[in-house]
Structure 1
Amino acid sequence: MGEMEEALARASAGTATRPIPKSAQARMRFLLKTEKGSTRALAARLGITQRTVERYLKGTLRRPRAELAARLEREVRRDWQPRVQQRAKKQAATATGIVIETRARFGFTAAPGSTDDGRIRRITQHLPPPYAARLFDAQASGATEQQLQRIAAEGLQEIYFKDNGRRAADLEVEFTDIDYIELDF
Protein backbone atom coordinates (compact mmCIF):
# COMPACT_ATOMS: atom_id res chain seq x y z
CA MET A 1 0.00 0.00 0.00
CA GLY A 2 1.40 3.38 -1.00
CA GLU A 3 1.45 6.63 0.90
CA MET A 4 -1.58 8.13 -0.87
CA GLU A 5 -3.64 5.00 -0.38
CA GLU A 6 -2.68 4.82 3.30
CA ALA A 7 -3.58 8.49 3.74
CA LEU A 8 -6.99 7.88 2.14
CA ALA A 9 -7.53 4.88 4.43
CA ARG A 10 -6.55 6.90 7.54
CA ALA A 11 -8.85 9.74 6.54
CA SER A 12 -11.69 7.33 5.93
CA ALA A 13 -11.13 5.59 9.27
CA GLY A 14 -11.03 8.98 10.96
CA THR A 15 -14.68 9.57 10.12
CA ALA A 16 -15.84 6.99 12.68
CA THR A 17 -18.39 8.22 15.17
CA ARG A 18 -17.77 5.55 17.82
CA PRO A 19 -14.50 4.21 19.25
CA ILE A 20 -13.27 0.81 18.11
CA PRO A 21 -13.47 -2.15 20.54
CA LYS A 22 -10.76 -2.05 23.22
CA SER A 23 -9.95 -5.66 24.06
CA ALA A 24 -8.27 -8.13 21.75
CA GLN A 25 -11.19 -10.52 22.21
CA ALA A 26 -13.75 -7.89 21.16
CA ARG A 27 -11.62 -6.92 18.17
CA MET A 28 -11.35 -10.57 17.12
CA ARG A 29 -15.13 -10.98 17.43
CA PHE A 30 -15.70 -7.95 15.25
CA LEU A 31 -13.27 -9.13 12.59
CA LEU A 32 -14.79 -12.61 12.72
CA LYS A 33 -18.15 -11.08 11.78
CA THR A 34 -16.58 -9.29 8.82
CA GLU A 35 -15.06 -12.60 7.70
CA LYS A 36 -18.52 -14.24 7.94
CA GLY A 37 -17.54 -16.51 10.84
CA SER A 38 -14.48 -18.06 9.21
CA THR A 39 -11.63 -18.34 11.70
CA ARG A 40 -9.41 -19.65 8.92
CA ALA A 41 -9.95 -16.53 6.80
CA LEU A 42 -9.40 -14.29 9.82
CA ALA A 43 -6.17 -16.09 10.69
CA ALA A 44 -4.92 -15.65 7.12
CA ARG A 45 -5.85 -11.96 7.19
CA LEU A 46 -3.93 -11.39 10.44
CA GLY A 47 -1.03 -13.67 9.60
CA ILE A 48 -1.49 -15.95 12.62
CA THR A 49 -2.70 -19.50 13.12
CA GLN A 50 -6.34 -20.47 13.27
CA ARG A 51 -5.81 -21.87 16.76
CA THR A 52 -4.47 -18.51 17.97
CA VAL A 53 -7.61 -16.80 16.68
CA GLU A 54 -9.74 -19.36 18.53
CA ARG A 55 -7.78 -18.76 21.75
CA TYR A 56 -8.38 -15.00 21.56
CA LEU A 57 -12.09 -15.58 20.85
CA LYS A 58 -12.37 -17.96 23.81
CA GLY A 59 -10.50 -15.55 26.10
CA THR A 60 -7.56 -17.84 26.82
CA LEU A 61 -5.18 -15.30 25.28
CA ARG A 62 -5.74 -11.69 26.25
CA ARG A 63 -2.70 -9.57 25.41
CA PRO A 64 -1.34 -9.82 21.88
CA ARG A 65 2.30 -9.01 21.19
CA ALA A 66 2.90 -5.51 19.89
CA GLU A 67 3.10 -6.51 16.23
CA LEU A 68 -0.20 -8.42 16.32
CA ALA A 69 -1.88 -5.70 18.39
CA ALA A 70 -0.96 -3.09 15.77
CA ARG A 71 -2.15 -5.32 12.91
CA LEU A 72 -5.39 -6.08 14.78
CA GLU A 73 -6.07 -2.39 15.40
CA ARG A 74 -5.32 -1.47 11.77
CA GLU A 75 -7.67 -4.15 10.42
CA VAL A 76 -10.49 -3.18 12.81
CA ARG A 77 -10.14 0.51 11.93
CA ARG A 78 -10.29 -0.31 8.24
CA ASP A 79 -13.60 -2.16 8.59
CA TRP A 80 -15.16 -0.16 11.45
CA GLN A 81 -18.45 1.59 10.59
CA PRO A 82 -18.39 1.11 6.80
CA ARG A 83 -21.65 3.00 6.22
CA VAL A 84 -20.34 6.03 8.11
CA GLN A 85 -17.17 5.93 5.99
CA GLN A 86 -19.18 5.67 2.77
CA ARG A 87 -21.42 8.56 3.81
CA ALA A 88 -18.39 10.75 4.59
CA LYS A 89 -16.81 9.89 1.22
CA LYS A 90 -20.03 10.71 -0.60
CA GLN A 91 -20.29 14.04 1.26
CA ALA A 92 -16.67 14.90 0.38
CA ALA A 93 -17.15 13.91 -3.28
CA THR A 94 -20.32 15.93 -3.73
CA ALA A 95 -20.24 18.88 -1.34
CA THR A 96 -17.32 19.51 1.00
CA GLY A 97 -14.18 18.38 -0.82
CA ILE A 98 -10.97 17.17 0.76
CA VAL A 99 -8.08 18.84 2.60
CA ILE A 100 -4.59 17.72 1.71
CA GLU A 101 -1.58 18.48 3.88
CA THR A 102 1.76 17.39 2.55
CA ARG A 103 5.47 17.99 2.57
CA ALA A 104 6.91 16.88 -0.72
CA ARG A 105 9.09 17.93 -3.60
CA PHE A 106 7.25 20.04 -6.14
CA GLY A 107 8.91 20.62 -9.48
CA PHE A 108 7.50 22.48 -12.42
CA THR A 109 7.47 22.38 -16.17
CA ALA A 110 6.89 25.95 -17.23
CA ALA A 111 7.62 28.36 -20.04
CA PRO A 112 11.23 28.54 -21.26
CA GLY A 113 13.45 30.78 -19.17
CA SER A 114 11.65 30.24 -15.88
CA THR A 115 13.58 29.20 -12.75
CA ASP A 116 11.10 26.78 -11.23
CA ASP A 117 13.46 24.10 -9.97
CA GLY A 118 11.92 21.46 -7.74
CA ARG A 119 12.08 22.00 -3.99
CA ILE A 120 10.51 20.68 -0.82
CA ARG A 121 7.34 22.55 0.14
CA ARG A 122 4.82 22.11 2.92
CA ILE A 123 1.32 22.74 1.60
CA THR A 124 -2.09 22.57 3.23
CA GLN A 125 -4.84 23.07 0.68
CA HIS A 126 -8.55 22.40 0.35
CA LEU A 127 -9.39 20.62 -2.91
CA PRO A 128 -12.94 20.93 -4.26
CA PRO A 129 -15.35 17.96 -4.51
CA PRO A 130 -14.47 16.94 -8.10
CA TYR A 131 -10.89 16.11 -7.06
CA ALA A 132 -12.13 14.19 -4.01
CA ALA A 133 -14.50 12.23 -6.26
CA ARG A 134 -11.67 11.45 -8.69
CA LEU A 135 -9.44 10.23 -5.84
CA PHE A 136 -12.16 7.99 -4.40
CA ASP A 137 -13.11 6.59 -7.82
CA ALA A 138 -9.49 5.88 -8.67
CA GLN A 139 -8.92 4.18 -5.31
CA ALA A 140 -12.04 2.05 -5.75
CA SER A 141 -10.95 0.98 -9.23
CA GLY A 142 -7.53 -0.12 -7.95
CA ALA A 143 -5.41 2.75 -9.25
CA THR A 144 -1.68 2.70 -8.67
CA GLU A 145 0.11 5.00 -6.26
CA GLN A 146 1.40 7.11 -9.16
CA GLN A 147 -2.12 7.60 -10.53
CA LEU A 148 -3.39 8.75 -7.12
CA GLN A 149 -0.42 11.12 -6.81
CA ARG A 150 -1.12 12.47 -10.29
CA ILE A 151 -4.73 13.30 -9.34
CA ALA A 152 -3.56 15.07 -6.16
CA ALA A 153 -0.89 16.92 -8.16
CA GLU A 154 -3.49 18.09 -10.68
CA GLY A 155 -5.66 19.38 -7.86
CA LEU A 156 -2.79 21.22 -6.19
CA GLN A 157 -1.66 22.54 -9.57
CA GLU A 158 -5.05 24.05 -10.39
CA ILE A 159 -6.05 25.30 -6.94
CA TYR A 160 -2.76 26.21 -5.24
CA PHE A 161 -0.22 26.99 -7.94
CA LYS A 162 -2.48 28.32 -10.72
CA ASP A 163 -4.98 29.92 -8.32
CA ASN A 164 -7.99 28.60 -10.26
CA GLY A 165 -6.61 29.78 -13.60
CA ARG A 166 -5.72 33.32 -12.52
CA ARG A 167 -1.95 32.87 -13.00
CA ALA A 168 0.76 30.59 -14.42
CA ALA A 169 -1.32 29.20 -17.26
CA ASP A 170 1.42 26.96 -18.74
CA LEU A 171 2.60 25.56 -15.40
CA GLU A 172 2.63 21.79 -14.90
CA VAL A 173 3.38 20.45 -11.41
CA GLU A 174 5.41 17.34 -10.58
CA PHE A 175 4.58 15.87 -7.16
CA THR A 176 7.42 13.58 -5.96
CA ASP A 177 9.49 12.58 -2.92
CA ILE A 178 6.59 12.67 -0.46
CA ASP A 179 7.86 13.16 3.09
CA TYR A 180 4.37 12.87 4.56
CA ILE A 181 0.80 13.30 3.42
CA GLU A 182 -2.40 13.64 5.42
CA LEU A 183 -5.91 13.87 4.03
CA ASP A 184 -9.09 14.94 5.78
CA PHE A 185 -12.67 15.05 4.65
Structure 2
Amino acid sequence: MNSRPIPLVLLFGPSGAGKSTLCAALSNQSQWLHVETDPFSRTTASAPVPKSLLQLFSPNPSFSDLATELRGMASSHSGVILSFISMICPNVEHITAAQESGFTTIFLSGNEQECLRSFLRREARIGRNLPEQHWRTHSTGICRALHRPEYAPHTMLGFSDGAHRSVNELVAEVLKHVSG
Protein backbone atom coordinates (compact mmCIF):
# COMPACT_ATOMS: atom_id res chain seq x y z
CA MET A 1 0.00 0.00 0.00
CA ASN A 2 1.27 3.47 -0.92
CA SER A 3 1.36 5.74 2.13
CA ARG A 4 2.53 8.76 0.13
CA PRO A 5 -0.16 11.46 0.03
CA ILE A 6 -1.67 12.30 -3.32
CA PRO A 7 0.09 15.10 -5.20
CA LEU A 8 -1.27 18.63 -4.90
CA VAL A 9 -0.49 21.20 -7.61
CA LEU A 10 -1.11 24.94 -7.67
CA LEU A 11 -1.21 26.10 -11.30
CA PHE A 12 -0.75 29.75 -12.27
CA GLY A 13 -0.26 31.52 -15.57
CA PRO A 14 -1.63 34.05 -18.00
CA SER A 15 -4.91 33.55 -19.77
CA GLY A 16 -4.31 31.66 -23.00
CA ALA A 17 -1.31 29.69 -21.70
CA GLY A 18 -3.36 26.47 -21.66
CA LYS A 19 -4.14 26.01 -17.96
CA SER A 20 -7.73 24.78 -18.47
CA THR A 21 -6.69 22.43 -21.27
CA LEU A 22 -3.90 20.97 -19.14
CA CYS A 23 -6.23 20.52 -16.16
CA ALA A 24 -8.88 18.80 -18.29
CA ALA A 25 -6.24 16.40 -19.64
CA LEU A 26 -4.94 15.60 -16.14
CA SER A 27 -8.51 14.99 -15.04
CA ASN A 28 -9.39 12.76 -18.01
CA GLN A 29 -6.10 10.90 -18.52
CA SER A 30 -4.73 10.62 -14.99
CA GLN A 31 -7.86 10.82 -12.82
CA TRP A 32 -6.85 14.06 -11.14
CA LEU A 33 -9.37 16.32 -9.41
CA HIS A 34 -9.44 19.73 -11.08
CA VAL A 35 -10.46 22.79 -9.09
CA GLU A 36 -10.85 25.95 -11.20
CA THR A 37 -10.85 29.31 -9.39
CA ASP A 38 -11.28 31.55 -12.46
CA PRO A 39 -14.98 32.49 -12.81
CA PHE A 40 -14.47 33.05 -16.55
CA SER A 41 -13.26 29.45 -16.91
CA ARG A 42 -15.80 27.80 -14.61
CA THR A 43 -17.46 26.33 -17.70
CA THR A 44 -14.80 23.60 -17.66
CA ALA A 45 -15.44 20.57 -15.46
CA SER A 46 -14.32 21.50 -11.97
CA ALA A 47 -14.79 20.52 -8.37
CA PRO A 48 -16.22 23.18 -6.05
CA VAL A 49 -13.80 25.86 -4.85
CA PRO A 50 -12.64 25.02 -1.29
CA LYS A 51 -13.59 27.43 1.51
CA SER A 52 -10.01 27.46 2.81
CA LEU A 53 -8.86 29.06 -0.45
CA LEU A 54 -9.86 32.50 0.85
CA GLN A 55 -7.03 32.61 3.41
CA LEU A 56 -4.19 31.72 1.04
CA PHE A 57 -2.78 35.03 -0.02
CA SER A 58 -2.62 36.77 3.31
CA PRO A 59 0.60 38.28 4.72
CA ASN A 60 1.24 35.04 6.69
CA PRO A 61 0.04 32.36 4.32
CA SER A 62 -0.83 28.88 5.50
CA PHE A 63 -1.67 26.22 2.98
CA SER A 64 -2.18 23.35 5.43
CA ASP A 65 -5.98 23.78 5.73
CA LEU A 66 -6.28 23.85 1.95
CA ALA A 67 -4.12 20.72 1.62
CA THR A 68 -6.33 18.90 4.12
CA GLU A 69 -9.54 20.06 2.44
CA LEU A 70 -8.35 19.11 -1.06
CA ARG A 71 -7.13 15.67 0.02
CA GLY A 72 -10.53 15.09 1.61
CA MET A 73 -12.27 16.06 -1.64
CA ALA A 74 -9.98 13.82 -3.72
CA SER A 75 -10.29 10.44 -2.05
CA SER A 76 -10.89 8.65 -5.36
CA HIS A 77 -8.39 10.69 -7.41
CA SER A 78 -4.69 10.24 -8.05
CA GLY A 79 -3.87 13.95 -7.64
CA VAL A 80 -5.36 17.44 -7.34
CA ILE A 81 -4.65 20.45 -9.54
CA LEU A 82 -5.93 23.84 -8.46
CA SER A 83 -5.80 26.42 -11.28
CA PHE A 84 -5.89 30.14 -10.60
CA ILE A 85 -7.20 33.24 -12.32
CA SER A 86 -4.51 34.92 -14.42
CA MET A 87 -4.28 37.99 -12.19
CA ILE A 88 -2.85 36.00 -9.28
CA CYS A 89 0.91 35.57 -9.09
CA PRO A 90 2.16 34.37 -5.73
CA ASN A 91 5.41 35.65 -4.31
CA VAL A 92 8.32 33.49 -3.13
CA GLU A 93 6.96 33.40 0.45
CA HIS A 94 3.67 31.96 -0.83
CA ILE A 95 5.48 29.35 -2.93
CA THR A 96 7.58 28.32 0.08
CA ALA A 97 4.53 28.11 2.36
CA ALA A 98 2.74 26.00 -0.25
CA GLN A 99 5.71 23.63 -0.52
CA GLU A 100 5.79 23.22 3.26
CA SER A 101 2.18 21.97 3.08
CA GLY A 102 2.91 19.49 0.28
CA PHE A 103 2.02 21.54 -2.80
CA THR A 104 3.98 21.74 -6.02
CA THR A 105 3.69 25.17 -7.62
CA ILE A 106 3.75 25.36 -11.41
CA PHE A 107 3.56 28.40 -13.65
CA LEU A 108 2.39 27.61 -17.19
CA SER A 109 4.04 30.28 -19.27
CA GLY A 110 4.30 31.76 -22.70
CA ASN A 111 5.34 35.10 -24.06
CA GLU A 112 2.75 37.87 -24.29
CA GLN A 113 2.12 37.44 -28.02
CA GLU A 114 1.58 33.67 -27.78
CA CYS A 115 -0.80 33.92 -24.84
CA LEU A 116 -2.74 36.88 -26.25
CA ARG A 117 -3.15 35.15 -29.63
CA SER A 118 -4.36 31.98 -27.91
CA PHE A 119 -6.75 33.96 -25.67
CA LEU A 120 -8.29 35.78 -28.65
CA ARG A 121 -8.72 32.52 -30.64
CA ARG A 122 -10.41 30.89 -27.65
CA GLU A 123 -12.72 33.85 -27.11
CA ALA A 124 -13.78 33.81 -30.76
CA ARG A 125 -14.26 30.02 -30.74
CA ILE A 126 -16.52 30.01 -27.68
CA GLY A 127 -18.37 33.17 -28.73
CA ARG A 128 -17.63 35.13 -25.55
CA ASN A 129 -15.33 37.55 -27.38
CA LEU A 130 -13.65 39.22 -24.44
CA PRO A 131 -11.49 41.98 -25.97
CA GLU A 132 -7.71 42.25 -26.13
CA GLN A 133 -7.86 44.91 -23.40
CA HIS A 134 -9.33 42.34 -21.01
CA TRP A 135 -6.29 40.12 -21.54
CA ARG A 136 -3.89 43.06 -21.18
CA THR A 137 -5.53 44.14 -17.91
CA HIS A 138 -5.53 40.66 -16.37
CA SER A 139 -2.54 38.79 -17.85
CA THR A 140 0.28 41.19 -18.75
CA GLY A 141 1.54 41.35 -15.17
CA ILE A 142 1.95 37.60 -14.72
CA CYS A 143 3.53 37.22 -18.18
CA ARG A 144 6.19 39.73 -17.21
CA ALA A 145 6.66 38.38 -13.68
CA LEU A 146 7.34 34.86 -14.92
CA HIS A 147 10.54 36.03 -16.58
CA ARG A 148 12.08 36.81 -13.18
CA PRO A 149 14.67 34.26 -11.97
CA GLU A 150 12.82 33.32 -8.77
CA TYR A 151 10.02 31.77 -10.85
CA ALA A 152 12.28 29.76 -13.18
CA PRO A 153 12.33 26.54 -11.09
CA HIS A 154 8.53 26.44 -11.16
CA THR A 155 7.92 27.41 -14.79
CA MET A 156 6.71 25.13 -17.58
CA LEU A 157 6.58 26.47 -21.11
CA GLY A 158 3.13 26.13 -22.63
CA PHE A 159 4.37 26.90 -26.13
CA SER A 160 7.04 25.69 -28.52
CA ASP A 161 7.83 27.55 -31.74
CA GLY A 162 4.79 29.79 -31.25
CA ALA A 163 2.26 26.95 -30.91
CA HIS A 164 0.86 25.22 -27.83
CA ARG A 165 2.90 22.20 -26.77
CA SER A 166 1.08 18.89 -26.93
CA VAL A 167 -1.16 18.30 -23.97
CA ASN A 168 0.41 14.86 -23.48
CA GLU A 169 3.84 16.50 -23.13
CA LEU A 170 2.48 18.93 -20.55
CA VAL A 171 0.75 16.17 -18.57
CA ALA A 172 3.99 14.18 -18.52
CA GLU A 173 5.90 17.23 -17.33
CA VAL A 174 3.44 17.86 -14.48
CA LEU A 175 3.67 14.22 -13.43
CA LYS A 176 7.47 14.49 -13.48
CA HIS A 177 7.33 17.65 -11.32
CA VAL A 178 5.25 15.94 -8.63
CA SER A 179 7.19 12.66 -8.60
CA GLY A 180 10.64 14.05 -8.24
Q: What is the TM-score of this pair, normalised by structure 2?
A: 0.26
TM-score (norm 1): 0.26
User: Higher relative CO (CA 8 A, sep ≥ 6), structure 1 or 2?
Assistant: 2
Query: Rg bigger for which structure?
Result: 1
